Structure 1
């Protein structure tokens, strides 16, 4: 084994999938270097994840690949529930632009996304990607440096990291290393996934179809100009693919039909019982497994990365207290569990389950789908507000705290830009009134801008949002969650004492970008 006691990096990321590479890009935006270790040499070439929502589009914007992703994405209409005869039971429409400034649903090809992310990583001197490097050991996960061992063509290697992010999927070695185990949320089914390219006039509403048929549940979506995906629950006996997809094709269609991939997956619903041990963290499928019925598996992993990376950067670069990192699991685990339960509920609605209550569930679904406004609310429930905690104003049951700020177009340096481009990558205060001396002093102590919404040149969205939330000012976190509020007629943030101690400490920060001597951080494959 090659052992170099000086081989130390700020962050080691295990796994170069979309979550791992996005985490590296986000850390780089905060000045933190990282080494990404990936056992495969290149991007897995076949389709997997295909859907992103507007919040995820905003995260990709923050990672610096918003425009590149737009070039490979296709807006979609949302989700429909169909009965066994393909009649529409309900529509969860997600059309137009959402709160975050992007289409509420976008379809894409995961390999294309991964190439976009890796190309961006290769341009950053703070980051290095080592392909063909299989991690063989992580830990112990103490408050100090973490030892990481890996194997490549040159043999065994050992290095030290100030933090380790386990983005290594459902069979995560990192999860095993910290002693985390799965909590089973009681959904497990075997499905066949088929990706197809065809020039046929496929019957499609430019969204996702979920067929709620207990005998043949299915999912269908258009991914690209001539790309489509079908998913069918596996049944005993052989079934011809053409017969399965026939309801979507022209009658007796016998034209081109290229199967890009046909494979079987076991869809599971699970959450790891712990997401952190010291400076070792779990993200994405290493921390939670979501059935794909609401298209939130990859989305949840990218939300993990956005929530954790700014906190980790604050600790490593600015010397904030390690207790700040405790908020990662407490903030992300409940929303992840919520999304999994939504996916499981839709899965049961589609399949009917295998017990005696299945007919009752199907009838209840049919009734629920007729309740005015229910489908609209369900479509907005994929990213619920954060509950009160150290980084969300305590004691707030309603209002803006814990929610995301909208992202309209604003004026920035004489051009139109998204709000986050104007605000930057750190905290920011938005004010609807003239800021008082104490608020200005607080912003100065944090080194963050105070931005009157009247000066941003938007269409009035921000002023209306703050007025509806009865707020004179809001403090935005780097992930654009409202951390605290100055209520209308108030003078100060109401809970600064709660969160200020987490953001400030007398400890010496770790120098950003520290690496082994003579080892530049760059994107490579071996």
Structure 2
């Protein structure tokens, strides 16, 4: 099997390589970075909901601080509080911790090869493969080394200045510097241990505070849009003013660990696919204003694309399935960017008066939404208009709408293994049968009873690899409901367990087999894609 060539070894590229290895697909990661990720405590990311699985990587959990809740205050008065459930709390960590853990994880994968100091210079598509030309940095006075790699696909995860995107001739429209923040990471005792929050009406201005592990915190102050120079002394003044406001005018002991200025951009690539070449992460989109999470969106790109590339690499024709990557992910990111564009004039429009939008969201609520995972700014991604959305003959109710991320319920595998649904993602299509009381029986008994034999046989006949799991219950469903969960965790459908026709229809839709089956080597890209080279 030809490897997938990944340009860029940031969080998105490494996560994609790690996920592909889990599907048995080899990859080559071109690491063009001049140095390992810098240790910057003030450069952080928040993982929540569908991205929490990445906190299971060795070395991440102890550095990923869980938030106990969120607090919004104005002039010292609490206006809103939200408590997070222990099993779904956002986790906040320095970005270099995640990157280091991902590098260590892919280093243990035999199917992943990292090629250091190489960057893409060109590519050619030749029907059933892609040839990627690279160059390696050379010491001063020596000639740079050129290299050619052959792969099944090329994925540009090479950042905001993506060479792959430029070679694809894809525009990257948007706005630069839509928000600026002064940022500081410090170690101190603050009044709300474990709580993140938004605080307004302080002498130092508005500040967002988010806990890190080990008694550390990240503080963000929005800056004027006039581009005024921000010096270390300016940031120190804000730190002192904020700490004094929280401690009756006194500045408590603290340790300043890192500081800087964070610029937020709004950009979205016009296309994310050119035949066998794809974009993901910073190469495809930039966001971050009002607390939206760029790293998390890149991880979602990787999860969405990995299983679709795996189907193409293992089984051949998957054009409509590969098309769905751009249709699903670009649509969701575009909606997030539109929500920021609509909210910015309302929340930064002057004064501290709460303004109401047409949907009744007030100013402080909008400023909190992305952090607490609510609304268009931060709500869980739902694939509302996917080209591979299932339309079964019979649909059963569920608390999770089709296209949303499935709830992380306890499940039992056919061998009796008890685990969480989240831990089974990243593999085959999951068929989760709700069977109240199944947990009290030994698996060897209920595997031969009731619906199980027929359902197991139906699972083996599907056009996608599938794994049958049992859950004693699932929110909003009744007994003998069969939940189809995609490898990236999105719920495809909830159907009656005995409705094999709906099950097969959904699996065929997910596989993209509504089009005629052809071999992957039978020709070039389909569906109107125009490759750069042929």
Q: TM-score range by the shorter chain?
A: 0.7 to 0.9
TM-score (norm 1): 0.78
Name the structure 1 match of 2:326: 329
2:354–2:364 contact (8 Å) kept in structure 1: no
TM-score (norm 2): 0.77
Name the structure 2 match of 1:24: 17
Question: CA 1:424 to 1:320, structure 2 compared with 1: closer, same or farther past 3 Å?
Answer: same
More divergent stretch after superposition (67-76 vs 134-143): 134-143
1:307 and 2:304 matched? yes
Name the structure 1 match of 2:438: none
Question: CA 1:424 to 1:280, structure 2 compared with 1: closer, same or farther past 3 Å?
Answer: closer
Deviation string 1:49-78 (CA, Å, 9 cap, x unpaired) is 3311031012x27xxx54543232111135
1:451 and 2:468 matched? yes
Paired residues, number: 477
Name the structure 1 match of 2:222: 233
More divergent stretch after superposition (105-114 vs 358-367): 358-367
* d(CA) in 2 for partners of 1:175, 1:428: 34
C-alpha displacement at 1:327, in angstroms? 0.2
More divergent stretch after superposition (318-327 vs 239-248): 239-248
CA RMSD of aligned residues (A): 3.8
Name the structure 2 match of 1:192: 182
Query: Secondary structure in 1 aligned to 2:242?
Result: helix
C-alpha displacement at 1:358, in angstroms? 8.7
* d(CA) in 2 for partners of 1:316, 1:398: 35
Extract unaligned runs of 5+ from structure 1. Answer: 1-7, 99-103, 511-526
C-alpha displacement at 1:417, in angstroms? 2.2
Deviation string 1:125-171 (CA, Å, 9 cap, x unpaired) is 11111222233334569764142323233622222222111112222
More divergent stretch after superposition (268-277 vs 358-367): 358-367
1:116 and 2:107 matched? no
Counterpart mapping for 1:68-467 below 5 A: 68-83=59-74, 85-98=75-88, 104-139=89-124, 144-153=129-138, 155-184=145-174, 188-196=178-186, 198=187, 200-211=188-199, 216-235=205-224, 236=228, 240-245=234-239, 246-249=241-244, 250=247, 251-253=249-251, 255-260=253-258, 262-344=259-341, 347-348=344-345, 350=347, 352-353=348-349, 361=355, 366=362, 378=375, 382-394=379-391, 400-411=401-412, 416-421=418-423, 425-432=427-434, 434-435=450-451, 440-446=456-462, 448-449=465-466, 451=468, 453=470, 456=471, 460-462=472-474, 464-467=475-478
Deviation string 1:194-224 (CA, Å, 9 cap, x unpaired) is 222x3x3223352332345699443221212
Question: CA 1:79 to 1:508, structure 2 compared with 1: closer, same or farther past 3 Å?
Answer: same
* d(CA) in 1 for partners of 2:24, 2:468: 24
Extract unaligned runs of 5+ from structure 2. Answer: 139-143, 436-449, 522-534
Bigger RCO (CA 8 Å, 6+ sep): 1
Question: CA 1:324 to 1:123, structure 2 compared with 1: closer, same or farther past 3 Å?
Answer: same
Query: Secondary structure in 2 aligned to 1:492?
Result: helix
